[in-house]
Amino acid sequence: MLVALDWGTSNLRAYLMSAEGDVVETRHAARGVLHLPAPADAGGFEQAFAEIARDWLGRHPALPVVAAGMVGSAQGWIEAPYVHAPADVRALAAHGVRVASGLGPEVVIAPGVIFDAPARMPDVMRGEEIKIAGAVAAEPALGERTWFVLPGTHSKWVFVQEERIVSFATYMTGELYAVLREHSILGRLMTESADGGESALGFEAGLDAARASSPGDLSHQLFAARTLGLTGRLPRNALADYLSGLLVGHELVSALAASRATREAGAPLVLLGDAALCRRYARALEAFGAAADEQLDDTAPRGLWEFARAAGLLV
């Protein structure tokens, strides 16, 4: 049995797991790394951990505990330095970092992964490597050679070969959407997204603009999220979807080109993450003629269980 913590920027999810890797019980708290009362000191982490897992450890005092995500960043409980790609779950387990939990067992925190190759921009992930480990464990065929797409604040396109994360690229799609909508002039004309036709209209218009773009055009096309509204070419309740489609579309233009050779050589494209967001990406991929081969929901618990097993905690 295992306590597994998926501890990100905004949320803490705790799973009580069986020896077979099944989730017995799930808990959630809005206690992400940026939402702790005293983020600068370990006390805040100990307290959040105690609140969510005290009774589990009361019943089973020797239960191993593992964690992954921003909890291992420089702003986290303790820093678990990045391991270099290529990396599999055994490499992650070999570099787990232990911290006293305040409740008996230590917590073993998974490192992130860094991709730092000459002539490429360096890139980092923290948390996605565990979700990928879970996906590969659940469907071993995906370990051979797969492109995983994890949409979100910082979307990741991750190439896995022989169960190892070989290379990856981050796109700031979700964060760009949020900061432009909240803090730029583009948000001024936007109303709430429509549920139906206008929403689809705006999203498709954004995808079309991205597909028709020339290099460097993004900061020009972004301004259309204002001028399409000013001129009435798009209804105001479609402007936020235009912005979303434009940003997702640019991500796809870049990442589909970078992944083309390996995809054409047979590597499947797998969407991994929040179901609603994955459906949005699935629509965009179809519009770009590159339909996803599969869509997986949250695989973090299974990945944490694999991490614990590779770390020798489940003996």
Label residues 167-191 b or e (16+ Cβ within 10 Å = b): bbbbbebbebbeebbeeeebbebbe
What is the identity of the amino acid at 190? M
Q: Minimal distance in Å, beta carbon 46 to a copy of itself? A: 25
Q: Does 224 bind a copy of itself (CB under 8 A)?
A: yes
Residues 226, 233: Cα–Cα separation, whole Å: 10
233 or 279, CB closer to a copy of itself?
Answer: 233
List 62, 140, 141, 182, residue binding a copy of itself (CB under 8 A): 182
Partners of 114 in the beta sheet?
84, 124
Q: Does 264 bind a copy of itself (CB under 8 A)?
A: no
Site for a copy of itself in 193-212 (CB under 8 A): 209-210
Q: Does 221 bind a copy of itself (CB under 8 A)?
A: yes
How is residue 220 written in tokens? 């020009």
Please, are residues 209 and 246 in contact by the beta-carbon 8 Å criterion?
A: yes
List 59, 220, 260, 279, residue binding a copy of itself (CB under 8 A): 220
- The edge-to-edge listing of strands for the beta sheet with 113-115 is 83-84, 113-115, 123-125
What is the identity of the amino acid at 91? A
Q: Does 314 bind a copy of itself (CB under 8 A)?
A: no
Q: Minimal distance in Å, beta carbon 250 to a copy of itself? A: 4
Neighbours of 300 (CB within 10 A): 25
Q: How many CA atoms lie within 13 A of 290 on its CB side?
A: 25
140 or 231, CB closer to a copy of itself?
Answer: 231
C-alpha dihedral sign at 206, 195, 277, 297: negative
Q: Minimal distance in Å, beta carbon 12 to a copy of itself? A: 19
What is the identity of the amino acid at 116? D
Please, are residues 108 and 66 in contact by the beta-carbon 8 Å criterion?
A: yes
Q: Minimal distance in Å, beta carbon 40 to a copy of itself? A: 14
Q: Does 171 bind a copy of itself (CB under 8 A)?
A: yes
216 or 289, CB closer to a copy of itself?
Answer: 216
Task: State the DSSP H helix or E strand holding residue 303, giving kind and residue range, or none if neither.
Answer: helix 300-310
Nearest to 244 by CA among 173, 194, 152, 295: 173
Q: Considering only the stretches 97-105, 172-180, 193-201, 306-314, report the one whose residues sit in contact with a copy of itself under the rule CB under 8 A.
A: 172-180
Q: Does 228 bind a copy of itself (CB under 8 A)?
A: yes
Q: Does 289 bind a copy of itself (CB under 8 A)?
A: no
Please, are residues 171 and 165 in contact by the beta-carbon 8 Å criterion?
A: no
Q: Does 251 bind a copy of itself (CB under 8 A)?
A: yes
Q: Does 263 bind a copy of itself (CB under 8 A)?
A: no
Neighbours of 232 (CB within 10 A): 8
State phi, psi for 90 to the nearest 5 degrees.
Answer: -70, -40
Q: Does 215 bind a copy of itself (CB under 8 A)?
A: yes
Q: Does 118 bind a copy of itself (CB under 8 A)?
A: no
Q: Considering only the stretches 41-49, 50-58, 182-190, 195-203, report the one whose residues sit in contact with a copy of itself under the rule CB under 8 A.
A: 182-190
Q: Minimal distance in Å, beta carbon 174 to a copy of itself? A: 10
How is residue 122 written in tokens? 């360096």
Nearest to 6 by CA among 270, 302, 310: 302
Q: Does 300 bind a copy of itself (CB under 8 A)?
A: no
Q: Does 185 bind a copy of itself (CB under 8 A)?
A: yes
Residues engaged in binding a copy of itself (CB under 8 A):
114, 116, 121-124, 154, 169-173, 175-176, 179-180, 182-185, 209-210, 213-224, 226-228, 230-231, 233, 247, 249-255, 257-258
